[in-house]
Structure 1
Amino acid sequence: MEIFGSTFDDSVFSEPRERVCESLSSYNAKLCEPEWFCESTALNTDDSLEKQKVFKFRGDLALRQGNYQRALDAYSSCLQWIADNNLTIRRDVLEGMARCYTRLGQREQALELAELLNKDAANTCHLTSLLLLKVSIYQHFGSVGSQMSCLQQLCSLLPFNPWHWFSLGQTYLKLLDNDPNTVASEAVNGEAEENQEGAVELTEDRVWLRACICFIRTRLLLRILRQQQSSFVLQRGEKALQITQEVLQRLNPKETTIQALIEVMSGDLIPEKMREDYQDGESLSSVCLQSFRERWWNRVLLTGVLQTDGPPVKP
């Protein structure tokens, strides 16, 4: 009778095969001078891929240098050389053009390109890039309501990202420094298709509560993620955590309010759900303002914190 595990495969005792090292063909790496694509001779080629690279690099460099018209011209030239199946480069170029239009003060053209990118958004990465682009456009032109709605969608798409919550909280904080009547009017009239919240909802006490919610959520996430961070990432998180603490001291919610908000905003902060494998965001069809309000705002309002607390009296 054989004991389990006492037998071995004959291959264990066979002689190892001799490896034959085949000679590899020599490879000569292409050497490029810094900013080689800026040379006039860089376009002396019939290769469409090379021309695409030249115009793309020229656009990226001009955008980084703040020469937005030159960058826009380079990106526009690049588009005609991009292959139909190269969707990644096409999206990158269109986003660059939208940012150029924004800096040049051409709002409608920037939003048209954003809408074009929206039609082709097929995954979480696409939608994240698109929403960040729209945030920058609306922020540049002062469309507070639309900026808030995009940030809310980002928080729904990536609920465990503290930076989106931090940005949303800072937006509400800025609203508190403005006249409440102006806030309500500006938020409602910003972009009707983007912002579906009524003026009654954006009273000063509700803006104050939403700022508290965002910064408490930010603090919860930063404290959890701090255990996994190091170096400059940890330093950035610690700085944001310090700012968050200072803002909460300024907002000055009661301790009972803080506990109620923590209970609601930490309900989904389960280690298993926060693993990287599960952080691919919500499905694209579910990312909307309605789902955001139902998931957080409405649950907070059910706690009745507005009846027991409110914004501190301004001096």
Structure 2
Amino acid sequence: MELALGFEFEESVFAQSRDRGRAGGCEAYTAKRCEPQWFCEDANSEGDVEILTAKKFRGDLAYRQQEFQKALYEYSSCLLLLPSSNIAMRRDVQEGQARCLAHLGRHQEALDIAEKLRNGATNTDHLTTVLNLQFAIYCRLKNIEKKITCLQQLISLHPFNPWNWKLLAETYMSFLQTLPPSFISEMKHLQCKDCTANNHVFQTSPGQFGKEMNLQCHKTLSGRQDVWSTLSTKTTRDNSVSYSDSHMVEGSLHITEECETRDKMKHDTFESWGQEALKDVWIKACASFVRTRLLLQITQLQQSSFALAQNLKVQQETEDKVKDFGLKEESLLLITEVMGEDLIPEKLKEDGQGEIKCVGPSALTSLVTTSAIEFEGKWFKKLQDNLSL
């Protein structure tokens, strides 16, 4: 019977396979052997690729050895020789330049390079790299607000990455611990007004700051303090200069004025956050730690050896930090439930398979344009409504 059109087989399908020797019909291949740090020597090769590779590796080695000026020179000379068509290596070298500039204190130049890389991003991997770069620069600038923004955008891209959630929780905590005393005093006064009007109480046992936290507006009979009073114990110690110490030192007036100026700058930064947001920061920190723990528990099922050991170690550290908040059991259960609502195994598998990689510039930008209000509304709004301050 004849086969229908389109189902004919080529004769070669039934032909006997050719005999192949050990070499598979190809000439013997000899791998190139390179001595350790071969790239540190002057390249004698006329090939552009080998010269560029040597310069790039020299820059990487210098950066690893914390010779940032030398690394910057190697990266810059490599970039001058790189063709515009080699996008991957150009982005890699430019990132190296930005990191060197940040270490050298040239932060604005580093941020300018990061912005160029962001504008040229064409996939989520590019964008992830840029956000990590910007986060590193803002860490050196100690700009907590910008660090939080970078982490929120990273989480918008990768909501199931436990390390970004851990960094976010730690950044929220560092934000609380740098509150200036003058701002804490103001917040205590405002909180008293709010509590008088709303009669909200949310108490915890001894926690993160070494004392029992009680978000009432006044001290109770048992001596409990509100969160702003508790924080002032640390910030006053860190930021104030006593008269008895400073009047004995030449230039004490200058020291006092410098502290007041620094305190005012902090006050302005915190004021921009809004009073209500500040009172909720510690809830966001605790919730982020809880989310970290949940994600680590899920990922440990796919890990072994040193990766599993590191996971379990961080899990324990995170568990200890959550306990330090001293939340009541029902409050902790609520936070765990809310922060784990989307952690369904089937959904996680689907999201992993359907992760966006290459998209248009406008669509890529829209993935991380979420504002702080939108991000925190998505993740923390339910907690703020139920854990009233």
Q: Same fold (TM over 0.5)?
A: yes
* Rounded Cα–Cα distance in structure 2 between residues aligned with 1:242 and 1:215: 11
Counting only pairs closer than 5 Å after superposition, residues 103-182 of structure 1 correspond to structure 2 as: 103-179=103-179, 181=183
3-state DSSP of counterpart to 2:101: helix
Q: Cα deviation per residue 1:195-245 (whole Å; 9 max; x = unaligned)?
A: xx7332442x31211111101111111112222211111111111111111
What is the rounded CA distance, in whole Å, between the counterparts of 2:304 and 2:264 in structure 1? 41
CA distance in 2, matches of 1:279, 1:253: 35
Q: CA deviation at 1:15?
A: 8.0
Other-structure match for 2:47: 47
How far did 1:99 drift? 0.6
Figure out how many residues of one structure are paired with residues of the other and give that number.
Answer: 287
1:217 aligns with 2:291: yes
SS of equivalent to 1:57: helix
Who wins on radius of gyration, i.e. which is larger?
2
- Quote the offset at 1:86 in angstroms: 1.1
- Give the CA RMSD over aligned residues: 2.7
Does structure 1 residue 288 correspond to structure 2 residue 378? no
Name the structure 2 match of 1:305: 387
CA 187–213 in structure 1, closer or farther in 2 if over 3 Å, else same:
farther
Cα distance in 2 for residues equivalent to 1:262 and 1:87? 43
Q: 2:274 aligns with which of 199, 218, 237?
A: 199
1:27 to 26, 29, 49: 29
For the 8 Å contact 1:58–1:74, the answer to whether it is kept is yes
Over the matched positions of the two proteins, sequence identity in percent amounts to 40
Q: How does 1:46-125 map to 2 (within 5 A)?
A: 46-125=46-125
5+ long unaligned stretches in structure 1:
1-9, 191-196, 308-315
Structure 2 unaligned spans of 5+: 1-8, 185-262, 358-362
Distance 1:155 1:227, change over 3 A: same
Larger RCO, structure (CA 8 Å, separation 6 or more):
2
Residue 244 (structure 1) aligned with residue 243 (structure 2) = no
Distance 1:248 1:185 in 2: 31
Letter aligned with residue 20 of structure 1: D
Paired AA for residue 309 in structure 2: Q
C-alpha distance in structure 1 between counterparts of 2:16 and 2:267, whole Å: 73
Quote how far apart the aligned CAs of 1:109 are: 0.8
SS at match of 1:26: coil
Deviation at 1:18, TM superposition (A): 3.8
Indicate conservation of the 8 Å contact 1:188/1:199, yes or no.
no
Distance 2:165 2:331 in 1: 19
Residue of structure 1 equivalent to 2:307:
233
SS across alignment from 1:72: helix
TM norm structure 1:
0.83
Q: Is the 8 A contact 1:62 1:70 kept in 2?
A: yes
In the aligned structure 1, how far is the partner of 2:100 from the partner of 2:267?
A: 25
TM-score (norm 2): 0.68
Confirm or deny: 8 A CA contact 2:135 2:150 kept in the other structure. Answer: yes
> In the alignment, is the contact (CA less than 8 A) between 1:212 and 1:253 conserved in 2?
no
Match of 1:141, as an amino acid? L
